[in-house]
């Protein structure tokens, strides 16, 4: 949960475009949010809504043809001290922060691991690059303990294994171990269970909850799974077509969703205790962000859309101190 409402990351008015042959993709359009120390904050939405682009933008991992157009990402390294604008740092300065203070767990562990090196080396390399160990040999000894902490079976053997010798769940445990090897302050988990079966998904998320509590981590979780949101998160921001349309405490969001898109997402989640003849779905398709709809980007799919929604961007309305929504229904 939040530690006395002390922020660790504050994103202000972030815009990210991708310059393609087809046109300019307006991927992130004025996103703002704050993550507090010790909480699990969630970005949720359909595929292509901008969740991963937002996460990568925090440490300038956007590569051409993408470009961060404007905005601030304020990183509060120490509570009560002046923050650092990560977007204003050089690549060398950011390299000291990435993997050490802010680390990532990406959705495909096979793509995150180098097939040419064993797991022990890859964990050791991360610690060596950030000065936590004096040699790779020393890192192998610590790598065994790290693999134990992420509940890797037979860690003394696995530390010598190459990625192709591990199952999907073992690979993801290794990636989590690499991510946590430098004791980061913030972990960004970008759909960390997408490539795993349901049983292993539960094991990995239980492991993340356990490690978060033990190491007092702050977690930014990115997902499209509302069940995972309910189980893991303290606060959640709902994204649609590059914008945050609603943000609330997790209990408030499920009890009193306000934005039509949030309501539609929750209705689309099957209820295991009720007989369902037909699953709810959201009509229409995700908009083309080269030519996004004017006004509210959700209006072509919204049953409550008014004329104003088609031409004017809805203002951000705070309905309580922890609940905001961008919708003309509440203006």
- Answer yes or no: is 281 within a domain: yes
- Position 4 scores a pLDDT of 55
* Half-sphere exposure in the Cβ direction for 210 (13 Å, CA): 10
> pLDDT truncated to tens, each residue of the chain (331 aa)?
444 589 999 999 999 999 999 999 999 999 999 999 999 999 999 888 999 999 999 999 999 999 999 999 999 998 888 999 999 999 999 999 999 999 999 888 888 899 999 999 999 999 999 988 988 889 998 999 999 999 899 999 999 999 999 998 899 999 999 999 999 999 999 988 776 777 788 888 888 888 888 888 999 999 988 888 888 999 999 999 999 999 999 999 999 999 999 999 998 877 777 777 777 788 888 899 999 999 999 999 999 999 999 999 999 999 999 999 999 999 7
pLDDT on residue 221? 95
pLDDT in the model for residue 16: 98
Pinpoint the alpha helices (H) of the chain. Answer: 51-57, 91-97, 109-112, 119-129, 136-149, 155-158, 168-180, 198-215, 226-232, 250-255, 260-267
Do residues 238 and 264 touch, judged by C-beta distance below 8 A? no
Residue 64 is assigned to a structural domain of this protein: yes
Range of the domain at 255: 7-93+190-197+218-330
With respect to residue 85, please indicate whether it lies within any of the assigned structural domains: yes
- Count of domains forming the chain: 1
Q: What are phi and psi of 97, to 5 degrees?
A: -95, -45
Residue 65 lies in a domain: yes
The answer as to whether 246 is a domain residue is yes
Does 132 map to a domain?
Answer: no
74 within domain boundaries: yes
Query: Which domain CATH number covers 326?
Result: 3.40.50.300
The answer to whether residue 149 sits within a structural domain is no
Strands of the chain, DSSP E? 7-19, 24-36, 40-44, 66-75, 84-85, 102-105, 186-190, 218-223, 235-240, 243-249, 316-320, 323-326
């Amino acid at each position: 949960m939040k530690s006395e409402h002390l922020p660790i990351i504050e994103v202000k008015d972030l815009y990210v475009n991708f310059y393609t042959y087809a046109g300019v993709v307006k991927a992130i359009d004025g996103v703002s949010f704050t993550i507090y120390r010790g909480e699990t904050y969630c970005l949720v939405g359909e595929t292509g809504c901008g969740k991963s682009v937002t996460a990568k933008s925090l440490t300038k991992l956007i590569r051409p043809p993408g470009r961060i157009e404007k905005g601030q990402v304020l990183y509060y390294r120490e509570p009560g001290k002046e923050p650092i604008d990560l977007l204003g740092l050089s690549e060398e300065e950011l390299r000291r922060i990435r993997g050490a203070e802010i680390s990532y767990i990406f959705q495909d562990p096979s793509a995150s691991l180098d097939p040419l090196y064993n797991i022990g080396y890859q964990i050791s390399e991360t610690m060596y690059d950030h000065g936590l160990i004096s040699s790779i040999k020393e890192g192998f000894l610590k790598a065994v303990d790290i693999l134990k902490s992420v509940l890797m079976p037979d860690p003394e053997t696995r530390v010598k294994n190459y990625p192709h010798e591990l199952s999907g769940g073992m690979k993801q445990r290794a990636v989590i171990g690499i991510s946590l090897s430098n004791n980061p302050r913030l972990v960004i988990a970008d759909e960390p269970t997408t490539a795993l079966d349901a049983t292993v998904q539960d094991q990995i998320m239980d492991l993340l909850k356990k490690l978060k509590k033990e190491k007092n981590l702050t977690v930014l979780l990115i997902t499209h799974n509302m069940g995972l949101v309910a189980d893991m998160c303290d606060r959640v921001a709902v994204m649609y077509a590059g914008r945050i349309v609603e943000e609330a405490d997790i209990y408030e969001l499920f009890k009193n969703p306000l934005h039509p898109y949030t309501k539609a997402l929750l209705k689309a989640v099957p209820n295991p205790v009720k007989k369902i003849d037909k699953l709810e779905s959201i009509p229409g398709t995700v908009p083309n962000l080269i030519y996004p709809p004017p006004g509210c980007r959700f209006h072509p799919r919204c049953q409550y859309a008014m004329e104003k929604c088609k031409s004017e961007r809805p203002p951000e309305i705070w309905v309580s101190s922890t609940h905001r929504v961008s919708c003309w229904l509440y203006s």
